[in-house]
Amino acid sequence: MAMTFGQRLKAFRKNEGWTQQDLADMISVSTQAISKWETDAGMPDISQIVPLSRALNVSTDILLGVVDDNDTKEFEKIYKRCMEIETLSPCKWPPEPKEAEKGFRLMYDYFCTHPTNPKAAKYLLDMAELYFGKLDIFDEATTIKECERFANCIFRFSDDADLHAEARFLIASVYMRIGQKEKANNALLKMPFKYGDRAYFSAEVAKLGGDYASVEKFCKESFTYRARFLIKSISLVASLPNKTIQEQIELEEYMLRIINALLSGGDYLPFNQVYQKLRLLCGLISKHLKLGNEARAIECFDELIEASRAYLEFANNGSKGSCLMLNDDGLDRYSKADRLKYQQEMAKDCIRITVNECKELENEQIQNRINKALNLLQKYGL
C-alpha cells in the first residue's frame, strides 16, 4: 500500500532525526500544523511544499508521492555501476579509496533524493565503515552522523531482519573505530545470538511438518553460511597483529584442511570456498618462503595451480555439478558472460600474485611452477 502524504512527511522528518518542533521552526509554522499534516488531517499550503522539501532534503515530487521513492530501475543501474567499480579485480578487493569514493558518491547522490531506500543506505553504511577516515568526503563528525542516518533508514524502512543485523554490526564497528565502546556494545546486544540462524530452525520446523525437501534446502543454506563464517573466524584470528608468522601459518594450514574438506563433497565448486582457498594458498606460499620453507611453499604452489586449473575448467564448462551440502555461491546474480569473466579474473589474479612473489627466486623447482602457472593462464586466454 502506498504511503500517504502524512506518512511520507513523518518518515522523512524522523529520518533526519528531527522533532515536529524542529521542522516547524525551520519553515516558520506551528507544531500543531506539522502534527495535522502528519496525521493527514490536513495538507500544507502549496507555498509551503518547496520549503518543506528543502528542509527534508528531498524533491517535491518524492515528498508529494508523484514518483516512486524506491525507483527500482534507477537504483539497480547505480548499484550495478558501484559493483563494477568494486570488482575491477577480485583479488584486489577492497578497491583503493579513490576508486571506492566514486561508487560512494554515486550512491550518496541517489540516497539524497531517495532517503527511504534501505538498500542504498546499506551500501553507503557498508562503504563508510570499510573506508572510515579514508574517503575525502566528510569529516569524522559528519561521517558518524551520516552513518547513523543510514542505519536509521534501514531500521525504519526495511522489515528484513538480516539487513537490520548487518546494520547493527556496521554501526557498532563505526562506534568502535572512534572509541565509543559502550555504544558499540549496545548495538551488538540487539543482534540475535543462538537463534540467529533462521535457515536451520526453518529446517527443524519443516521436518516436524514432513516437508523433507525443504529440510534439505534449509540445511544446505545454513551449512553454506556457517561454512563461510567458520573460515572467516579462523582468518580473523590469524590476522591478529600479535601472531607470529609461524602461528599464522599453523592457523592457515588448519583453515586449508577445512576448506578442502568442504570442497570434497561433490563436483560443484562454489565460488566463495574456491576464492578463499586460492587467496589462502597465495598467502601460505609467501609466508613459507619468508621462513625458508621452500618445500612446503612448492607444495602449496602445486595445489594453487591444480585448484586454479580445476576451477577454470569448471567455470568454462558452465559451472555445473552438485555438492552434498554447499549451496550455489551467489554468482547466479550475474549474466552468464559476466559470471565467467568474474570467475576467470579471480583465478588469474591469484596466480599472478604468486608469480610476482616468486619470479625473482633462484630456485629451479619454483621457476618450473611459474612456467606451469603462466601456461595455464595462456591456455584459457588470460
In a domain, 109, yes or no: yes
Residues 175 and 263 in one domain: no
Q: What pLDDT is recorded for position 93?
A: 64
Return the minimum-mean-pLDDT range out of 98-107, 117-126, 196-205. Answer: 196-205
Is 162 a residue whose pLDDT tops 90? Answer: no
- Over range 247-266, report the average pLDDT: 94
In a domain, 228, yes or no: no
Residues 48 and 122 in one domain: no
Residues 34 and 140 in one domain: no
Q: What pLDDT is recorded for position 342?
A: 77
281's grid cell: 594458498
**Higher per-residue pLDDT: 308 or 15:** 308
Q: What pLDDT is recorded for position 331?
A: 58
Residues 57 and 107 in one domain: no
Return the minimum-mean-pLDDT range out of 160-174, 203-217, 310-324. Answer: 310-324
Residues 101 and 31 in one domain: no
User: In sequence order, what are the residues at sequence separation of 6 or more whose Cβ sits closer than 8 angstroms to the Cβ of residue 239?
Assistant: 248
Spatial distance between the Cα atoms of 200 and 219, rounded to a whole number of angstroms: 6
Is 37 a residue whose pLDDT tops 90? Answer: yes
CB of 48 closer than 8 Å to CB of 40: no
Is 195 a residue whose pLDDT tops 80? Answer: no
Domain CATH for 181: 1.25.40.10
Domain CATH for 36: 1.10.260.40
In a domain, 56, yes or no: yes
Number of domains present in the structure of the chain: 3
Is 109 a residue whose pLDDT tops 70? Answer: yes
Q: What pLDDT is recorded for position 334?
A: 59
Residues 76 and 108 in one domain: yes
Q: Domain boundary residue among 157, 191, 225?
A: 191
In a domain, 20, yes or no: yes
In a domain, 213, yes or no: no
CB of 372 closer than 8 Å to CB of 351: no
Mean per-residue pLDDT of the chain: 87
In a domain, 210, yes or no: no
Residues 246 and 371 in one domain: yes
Domain residues for the domain of 28 are 5-64
Residues 170 and 277 in one domain: no
- Res. 253 pLDDT band, cuts 50 70 90: very high
Q: Domain boundary residue among 156, 191, 226?
A: 191
Spatial distance between the Cα atoms of 210 and 375, rounded to a whole number of angstroms: 53
- Over range 96-104, report the average pLDDT: 88
Spatial distance between the Cα atoms of 281 and 302, rounded to a whole number of angstroms: 10
- Over range 127-131, report the average pLDDT: 93
- Over range 128-141, report the average pLDDT: 90
In a domain, 171, yes or no: yes
Q: How far is CA 295 from CA 234, 288, 363, in A?
A: 24, 9, 11
Q: What pLDDT is recorded for position 170?
A: 94
Q: What is the DSSP string of 330-371?
A: SGGGS-HHHHHHHHHHHHHHHHHHHHHHHTT---HHHHHHHH
The SS3 of residue 323 is strand
Q: What pLDDT is recorded for position 68?
A: 56
Residues 286 and 159 in one domain: no
**Report for 26-40, 186-200, 325-339: range of highest mean pLDDT:** 26-40
- Over range 108-129, report the average pLDDT: 91
AA letter at 235 = S
Residues 144 and 119 in one domain: yes
Q: Domain boundary residue among 43, 64, 85?
A: 64
Is 382 a residue whose pLDDT tops 80? Answer: no
- Over range 40-58, report the average pLDDT: 86
Is 329 a residue whose pLDDT tops 80? Answer: no
Spatial distance between the Cα atoms of 66 and 242, rounded to a whole number of angstroms: 57
64's grid cell: 508529494
Share of the chain above pLDDT 70, in %: 92
In a domain, 211, yes or no: no
Q: What pLDDT is recorded for position 89?
A: 55
Q: What is the DSSP string of 88-151?
A: SSGGGPSPPHHHHHHHHHHHHHHHHH-TT-HHHHHHHHHHHHHTTTTSSS--HHHHHHHHHHHH
Is 333 a residue whose pLDDT tops 60? Answer: no
Instruction: Dump pLDDT digits (tens) for 57-89.
Output: 777 777 887 655 456 778 888 988 888 777 655
Residues 260 and 336 in one domain: yes
Q: What pLDDT is recorded for position 2?
A: 59
Return the minimum-mean-pLDDT range out of 32-41, 84-93, 278-287, 320-329. Answer: 84-93
Closest CA to 226 of 262, 188, 190: 262
